[in-house]
Amino acid sequence: MKGKTDTGSSNPGPAPILLQKAGEFIRFFLGELRPKGRVLTPFNVISGAIILLGAVLVVIRFARGLGAVTNLNQDYPWGLWIGFDVVTGVAFAGGAYVLTFVVHVLRFKKYEPIVRATVLNGFLAYVFYAGALLLDLGRPWNVINPIIGKAFGLSSVLFLVAWHFMLYMICEFVEFAPAVAEWLNWKRVRRFVMSLTMGAVIFGITLSTLHQSGLGALFLLAPSKIHPLWYSGSIPVLFFISSIFAGLSMVIIESSISHRIFNSQIDGEHRASHGEIVLGLGKGAACALFVYLFLKIIDFVHGRHWDLIPTPMGYWYLLETVGFVLVPAGLFVYAVRKESVPMVQFTAVLAAIGVVLNRLNVSIIAFKWYEPVRYVPSWMEVEITLAVIFLEIWVFRWVVNRMPVLRKYREPEGEPVKEAEVVKWRPSHM
């Protein structure tokens, strides 16, 4: 592209140039697909085997139906894939809308170094976990119906959830698009998508507020099937608030792991501020946990469920509420006061376990607790869930190793943008 001075009849025209650029892009992209670093590591071998086995089981599921790989039946139509992949996974993706609100709206710039990784994590969570919803649909090809209008289902909460999932994934992609444009060296595209970021953030926050609570509203349809200790008219609010500390806890865990694994990509300033960032996230998680605990106590007192406590389900409820809500809330406060980053990281894991426990309790464990024969996920359901998680980690690692997610983007010096320039590829660096 440099040094072109011949503007006469030898100009090859737009079609050959387009073909040349397409060829350059394909060669560049194929080069980026090559692994970076060692391939035969223990993590790669174990996770690769799990992903391969999961792919085989997914083929069997679509070829022979749900009954071939799951323990789902007419009494328990929703199992692990809904309870964990969708209901729990979307809560953990909540860190993206919380952090973009803090950085772009409240202007807390100290969290800016982890925004891209958090948005990427949130986007992938929606793509993989919400995408796993297809596995649980008896007729997965009908998933498009609420979008194309063949059967809108306007009276269903799932109509709201389906549209919000789709729109929010678009918003998150727009928020992450500047990193893609920088990777491809598309300068004008980068400027354009950067101009859309604030609008996408505000729209995304609005959507998240509604569909995080909308997931909880789904369970308002089954008041007699959910144990009274977990059923409440406040489930939508509880789901929304729990998505805040679930998301922040996941951001603490993910950023701490990324800080260690991708350390070579992080500049000194970011490394030095990591502890302060973790402590700040711990403060936010503690506040959300105390609000959540307060609402749980109000629900419990108003429901007058004292007589249910000295029962097996009551003990299980106490373990969740005290062990994984009250204790993490107190530990977060203690860790922040002592400025102990390791304790904040440990407490984030406790809080994340509590979210998993609560979402599985509402959707599976406390659902039809009175039935003599209960649903227990098959090993194949667990295996496919693990395969989805590992596949998301692989994609996250591939993107971080190529795009400026954790490292700062620097404009190439001495390369002014030309009007006729389409693209000039630059290889990514570790």
> Distance (Å, rounded) from C-alpha 124 to C-alpha 403?
15
Amino acid 278: pLDDT: 94
48-71 pLDDT, tens digit per residue, is 999 999 999 999 999 998 999 999
Amino acid 6: pLDDT: 47
> Distance (Å, rounded) from C-alpha 233 to C-alpha 220?
7
Count of alpha carbons within 13 Å of 241, Cβ hemisphere only?
Answer: 17
Name the residue among 260, 429, 264, 250 with its Cα closest to residue 356. 250
> Distance (Å, rounded) from C-alpha 91 to C-alpha 241?
10
138-186 pLDDT, tens digit per residue, is 888 888 887 777 666 777 777 887 888 889 999 999 999 999 999 888 8
| 341, 272 contact by CB (below 8 A) | no
To the nearest 10°, the Cα dihedral for 401, 402, 407, 411? 170
Amino acid 38: pLDDT: 82
Name the residue among 179, 110, 201 with its Cα closest to residue 405. 179
Amino acid at 321: T
21-51 pLDDT, tens digit per residue, is 888 888 888 888 887 778 889 999 999 999 9
Neighbours of 349 (CB within 10 A): 14
Average pLDDT over residues 104-131: 88
Average pLDDT over residues 189-218: 89
What are the structure tokens assigned to 22, written together? 């397409």
| 46, 389 contact by CB (below 8 A) | no
- What pTM did the predictor assign? 0.86
What are the structure tokens assigned to 193, written together? 């998508």
> Distance (Å, rounded) from C-alpha 102 to C-alpha 287?
14
Amino acid 413: pLDDT: 59
Q: How high is the mean pLDDT of the chain?
A: 87
What are the structure tokens assigned to 109, written together? 């710039």
| 133, 211 contact by CB (below 8 A) | no
Amino acid 215: pLDDT: 86
